[in-house]
Structure 1
């Protein structure tokens, strides 16, 4: 029942994901429920943080190449009459960028700062936008001011791509940085064209927002496909597990079937041979079960078989194995168990069945359900295979029936071999 409930729940979850995939493919914005949106944003932010942590040296190398390009070009672009002033500001801007890059990496990698990665990212983006804008717009050379506008656009777009922060949050951060920069430049009496500069900042902010929205839409689809794949994998695993369980277990009693008994006996038999340890086998049969079926009906008979199987399973040790051999017969394997141990386990089973007190009016030996039980123990005897061992246990059961049923009979392998020699 649990497996059916879990399977139905997973199927329902998969249908919901497929509906979200269909809806998401028709629009760019978020169509996730609140809880799923939070999970997606959290994973997206964590993935961005790990990328920063993992690829920091690539970023350092890229920035180093950027320095090699910018410093010489700034040297040649700077107006001779303002050279010292502008070139120092250029170096200051590059140093500011390098420090911000290091802080960005520390926020992504240090254990105490990881949980504040999104806040630190927004603060650093805000700082870079304001500080770099102020530094570059304070330069006297007009060409360097124009260059700074391109740098601002790059910072905006990289901020959206690298931080993993929600597009709306980055848009607010960018707009606040643009407003702060313009107010700062006006208050410091820096000569610039507010209209042109404002258009550059706001335009960059909006462009970054659109790009970020497109990235988020793609990431949402990847997230949904990944989630659907995981659910499909769980469904497949449940089906596989259930099929394996059905192939290894008896449908009525839920214990192992004849096929699994053969496989397990083969393993236990080889272990006993290799370790030269004892292996005991119990063969169990319900007395006069045909009479019970004919009188009480097959449904009642199935109930009895199920109850006896469960009782046997509860009466043996965790290291032991029980299987339904067929009909009303059961086999118990007891690894590393000698004759005394096997008889003790058999007695436990015998008493447990007796305590069930299942009425049986058509039994010739009792007024309730009873069992006959045969025992044999393998001790690495030569010229004996596992099929022969099982046959000897069956002979022990047959002997218990011959002696009147409702009892335990132990059949020694040595006595069987001796009988074969004498004959």
Structure 2
């Protein structure tokens, strides 16, 4: 029943995911329920950290190439009268950018720092905007100030794309950085075009927010489709497992069926021949079961069959195998077991059934349900599996002939002599 509960729960979860997918197509970027929303952003942060770790050295190479292109260019456009001051600011800007990227990598790389990755990302962006604004707005060369606008725009946009932080949180951090930057430059009496810098800072922040929202809307749909595919896979796996179980087990008794018995007999038989070990076979039949069914009804009869199957399973060893052979007949395979061991196991089964004391008013041998058992032991003799089963069946038939409610052992040698 547990698999049915799991299946029903998965079907319910899948329906809810499909409802969310439908809503996402109508209202793009709509937030999920709280638990799912948390899962989505956790996955987003994990993916951002993974990307930073995996592409770190590529980023180092790209940053190095850009530095090699930017510094010579700065060298040629800086006014000669302010060369030292402005060139030092350019170098400090490059080092500052490298430090910011290394900080992000450290928080994405080391386990102790990972929980603080989102906070570190917002702080790095806050610091990068303020520090780069000061370094570039305090130079004297106008061309460098114009170049600074592009750098600030890149910082904002990359911060939304690379960090995996919620767009609203990054927007608040970016706007705060813009306000602090403007106030800092005013307080330091730095000469700059307020309108232009304000447009760059706030415009870049809002542009990055818009791009991030669009990317997140796409990621939300991918996330939902991934969840639906995962749930569908689990449902398929449960169906497959259950079909396999049904194909291998008897529906009434929940123990192995005739088909599985044939497969296990092949395995044990070949193992016995290969290793020259004993293989005992027990055939078990419920005495006068037709009379029981006729008197108590088939429902009660099914209950008895289920109870006996469970009792047999509990009475044998973990290495043994039991299956419902058909109707009221069961078969037990005892690998690496000689005649004495087989008789001991058969006695355990016999006594366990006897202790149940299931009333059987129409039995001709007792006032409660009893069983007959036939045993034979294979010791790698020259006979087929079919012949082995025939001898075990003969042993059971002999137990019935002798009056039922007993155990009968039939050796393979005596069966051949007969």
TM bracket (short chain): over 0.9
- Written as runs of structure 1 = structure 2, the 5 A alignment for 1:398-413 is 398-413=397-412
Taking the aligned partners of 2:297 and 2:100, their CA distance within structure 1 comes to 83
What is the Cα-based RMSD across aligned positions, in Å? Answer: 1.0
Taking the aligned partners of 1:337 and 1:223, their CA distance within structure 2 comes to 56
Taking the aligned partners of 2:93 and 2:292, their CA distance within structure 1 comes to 95
In structure 2, runs of 5+ residues without a counterpart are none
- Written as runs of structure 1 = structure 2, the 5 A alignment for 1:96-107 is 96-107=96-107
Stretch of structure 1 that moved more, 104-113 or 283-292: 104-113
2:360 equivalent in structure 1: 360
1:310-339 Cα deviation digits (max 9, x unpaired): 111111111111111011100001111111
3-state DSSP class of the match of 2:373?
A: strand
Taking the aligned partners of 2:256 and 2:413, their CA distance within structure 1 comes to 30
1:256-304 Cα deviation digits (max 9, x unpaired): 1111100011011111111111111100001111111111111111111
Taking the aligned partners of 1:33 and 1:340, their CA distance within structure 2 comes to 65
- Aligned structure 1 segments of 4 or more residues deviating by more than 6 angstroms: none
Taking the aligned partners of 1:328 and 1:71, their CA distance within structure 2 comes to 91
Taking the aligned partners of 2:26 and 2:364, their CA distance within structure 1 comes to 76
2:333 equivalent in structure 1: 333
Q: CA deviation at 1:38?
A: 0.6
Taking the aligned partners of 1:387 and 1:218, their CA distance within structure 2 comes to 63
1:126 equivalent in structure 2: 126
Q: CA deviation at 1:252?
A: 1.1
Q: CA deviation at 1:75?
A: 1.0
3-state DSSP class of the match of 2:367?
A: coil
Tell me how many residue pairs correspond in the alignment: 418
Do 1:20 and 1:31's aligned partners in 2 also have CA atoms closer than 8 Å? Answer: no
Do 2:129 and 2:178's aligned partners in 1 also have CA atoms closer than 8 Å? Answer: yes
Taking the aligned partners of 1:240 and 1:264, their CA distance within structure 2 comes to 21
TM-score by length of 1: 0.97
1:38 equivalent in structure 2: 38
Q: CA deviation at 1:355?
A: 0.9
1:308 equivalent in structure 2: 308
Q: CA deviation at 1:81?
A: 2.2
1:51 equivalent in structure 2: 51
Do 2:14 and 2:232's aligned partners in 1 also have CA atoms closer than 8 Å? Answer: yes
Do 2:175 and 2:202's aligned partners in 1 also have CA atoms closer than 8 Å? Answer: yes
3-state DSSP class of the match of 2:267?
A: helix
Q: CA deviation at 1:103?
A: 1.6
Q: CA deviation at 1:360?
A: 1.1
Taking the aligned partners of 1:368 and 1:48, their CA distance within structure 2 comes to 71
- Written as runs of structure 1 = structure 2, the 5 A alignment for 1:12-411 is 12-382=12-382, 384-411=383-410
1:371-404 Cα deviation digits (max 9, x unpaired): 000001111112x111111111101000101111
Taking the aligned partners of 1:266 and 1:290, their CA distance within structure 2 comes to 31
Taking the aligned partners of 1:69 and 1:209, their CA distance within structure 2 comes to 29
Taking the aligned partners of 1:288 and 1:408, their CA distance within structure 2 comes to 16
Taking the aligned partners of 1:395 and 1:253, their CA distance within structure 2 comes to 25
Q: CA deviation at 1:31?
A: 2.6
Taking the aligned partners of 2:96 and 2:2, their CA distance within structure 1 comes to 60
Q: CA deviation at 1:80?
A: 2.2
3-state DSSP class of the match of 1:25?
A: helix
Do 1:160 and 1:209's aligned partners in 2 also have CA atoms closer than 8 Å? Answer: yes
Do 1:28 and 1:213's aligned partners in 2 also have CA atoms closer than 8 Å? Answer: no
Q: CA deviation at 1:217?
A: 1.1
Q: CA deviation at 1:26?
A: 2.1
Q: CA deviation at 1:188?
A: 1.0
Q: CA deviation at 1:69?
A: 1.1
